[in-house]
Amino acid sequence: MSVISENTEADMRHRILVVAERLFRQIGYQKTTVADIAKVLQMSPANVYRFFDSKKAIHSGVARHLMGEVEQAAASIAAESGPAGDRLRKLLSTVHRMNRERYVGDEKLHEMVAIAMEENWDVCVLHMQQIVGAITQIVTQGAASGEFDVPDVAVAAGCTCTAMMRFFHPQMIAQTINKDGPTIDQMIDFILRSLGARTVAAVS
Amino acid sequence: MSVISENTEADMRHRILVVAERLFRQIGYQKTTVADIAKVLQMSPANVYRFFDSKKAIHSGVARHLMGEVEQAAASIAAESGPAGDRLRKLLSTVHRMNRERYVGDEKLHEMVAIAMEENWDVCVLHMQQIVGAITQIVTQGAASGEFDVPDVAVAAGCTCTAMMRFFHPQMIAQTINKDGPTIDQMIDFILRSLGARTVAAVS
């Protein structure tokens, strides 16, 4: 395949995903058909199937795109300089904010996420691995500089992400919004204490 | 009302709830009617409505009973003697095990919980308050004895419960079973470190 046709293929896949995401947001995932997507692109459904072999594959692509933006934000915070504790707080707060903005209050996108969790779990696993990866990067740096004190970096990063479930998981954000419970900053303080963060420990 | 008729009323409410729970388990909450419950008890639906003014009220009663058993187990562990860290580990593990046994793998009971979360949220709030209350009791004792080191007992107890969401919340237990992530013991270690537990901190 030449470079030009490869680019064309990537471009077509991208165009299909952009249209699919728009339709999923407007009329919902369940109600959107491959024929609807094809119609907007002025092509045949058969042509769409040349690029994605099922509606589920299109769903994966759209979900990857939405989650990918959150992953990029997390990765870029992990790559910043400055104290590990500050960056970890910024990362955890940013993931919460982006997920809340994406999936809560937007019923159509919320439907898409619920379907990803039921039928396209691999996409969610990949996303969580990326987020845990960014957390691991910061915890590793914090442990190396002596800012954190953790017995096992991988376990600490996994527990940090799991402890944030109420603030990360779209269904949990939706279910707990305006409900009693710790604030996100209290939760992050609690996590930083577990990581032995010097600045938080000094407060006690 | 005399003592005898009060006892009779409490007894009738109890009998209705026992039958309702059995039917909810056998045929599901949605498919069970008040008439079905009345039939088993050989009484009229109107008579059932004398004790519970709606099917929702019966649902609340059954949910309270199921959750009440978990609350009693948590309260009795909190009332035991011994190191706070050991008791907290036992309490958190017990709540996880009881919720897993109750709601995961039993689709009918899982349906009941899902409905409680959507339509009977007050029952869930009350349950969480009870569990946080038992956790608070142990954290308070640990802080008083110097075993724990926490800046704010109430916040620490709330964060402990929230950090356990993956292991406590019926929907999250079902969704994450056999999935990657920290074990419950790793998560409890992480929490104990945040509470400044001496035994866990000594390991690092």
Inform me whether the pLDDT recorded for A169 exceeds 90. yes
Placement of tokens 């006892």 in the chain = B7
Name the more confident of B131 and B5.
B131
**What is the DSSP code (8-state) at residue A191?**
H
Q: Give the confidence band of B102 by pLDDT, cuts at 50, 70, 90.
A: confident
Specify the long-range contacts of residues A120-126, CB closer than 8 Å, at least 24 apart.
A120/A56, A120/A59, A120/A60, A120/A63, A122/A60, A123/A60, A123/A63, A123/A64, A123/A67, A124/A67, A125/B179, A125/B180, A126/A64, A126/A67
Of the ranges A13-17, B94-98, B102-106, which one carries the lowest mean pLDDT score? B102-106
What's the pLDDT score for residue A106?
77
Inform me whether the pLDDT recorded for A113 exceeds 90. no
A180–B contact, CB cutoff 8 A: yes
Cβ contacts of B180 on chain A, cutoff 8 Å: 125, 128
Q: Say which of B125, B150, B187 has its CB closest to residue A159.
A: B187
Distance from the B194 Cα atom to the nearest Cα atom in chain A, whole angstroms: 4
Q: Give the confidence band of B8 by pLDDT, cuts at 50, 70, 90.
A: confident
Contact: A193, B196; criterion CB under 8 Å: yes
Report the share of chain A in percent with pLDDT over 70.
94
Inform me whether the pLDDT recorded for A81 exceeds 80. yes
What's the pLDDT score for residue B188?
98
Q: Give the confidence band of A203 by pLDDT, cuts at 50, 70, 90.
A: very low
What's the pLDDT score for residue B109?
81
Contact: B186, A117; criterion CB under 8 Å: no
What's the pLDDT score for residue B23?
94
What's the pLDDT score for residue A120?
79
A199–B contact, CB cutoff 8 A: no
Q: Closest Cα to residue B167, out of B156, B158, B177?
A: B177
Report how far residue B86's alpha carbon sits from residue B198's, in angstroms, rounded to the nearest whole number. Answer: 12
Per-residue pLDDT averaged across B91-110, rounded?
88
Interface test with A, best of B148, B164, B165, B203 (most A CBs within 10 A): B165
**What is the DSSP code (8-state) at residue B179?**
-
Q: Closest Cα to residue B49, out of B33, B62, B68?
A: B33
A31–B contact, CB cutoff 8 A: no
- Determine the residue of chain A that is closest to B169 in CA distance: A172
Report how far residue A13's alpha carbon sits from residue A25's, in angstroms, rounded to the nearest whole number. Answer: 18
Q: Give the confidence band of A92 by pLDDT, cuts at 50, 70, 90.
A: very high
Name the more confident of B157 and A202.
B157
What's the pLDDT score for residue B3?
58
Per-residue pLDDT averaged across A32-41, rounded?
96
Q: Please report the beta strands in B32-96, taking only residues with DSSP state E, as ranges in sequence order.
A: none
**pLDDT tens per residue across span B21-80:** 999 988 988 899 999 999 999 999 999 999 999 999 999 999 898 899 999 999 999 999
Supply the mean pLDDT for chain A. Answer: 90
B151–A contact, CB cutoff 8 A: yes
What's the pLDDT score for residue B4?
59
Q: Give the confidence band of A202 by pLDDT, cuts at 50, 70, 90.
A: very low
A149–B contact, CB cutoff 8 A: yes
Which domains, and CATH codes, for chain A? 1-53 (1.10.10.60), 56-199 (1.10.357.10)
Assembly ipTM: 0.88
Contact: B155, A190; criterion CB under 8 Å: yes
Supply the mean pLDDT for chain B. Answer: 90
B150–A contact, CB cutoff 8 A: yes
B199–A contact, CB cutoff 8 A: no
What's the pLDDT score for residue A199?
61
B114–A contact, CB cutoff 8 A: no
Q: Would you call B2 helix, strand, or coil by DSSP? A: coil
What's the pLDDT score for residue B200?
54
Per-residue pLDDT averaged across A92-108, rounded?
89
Cβ contacts of A156 on chain B, cutoff 8 Å: 190
Cβ contacts of A179 on chain B, cutoff 8 Å: 125
Cβ contacts of A166 on chain B, cutoff 8 Å: 162, 165
Name the more confident of A170 and B85.
B85
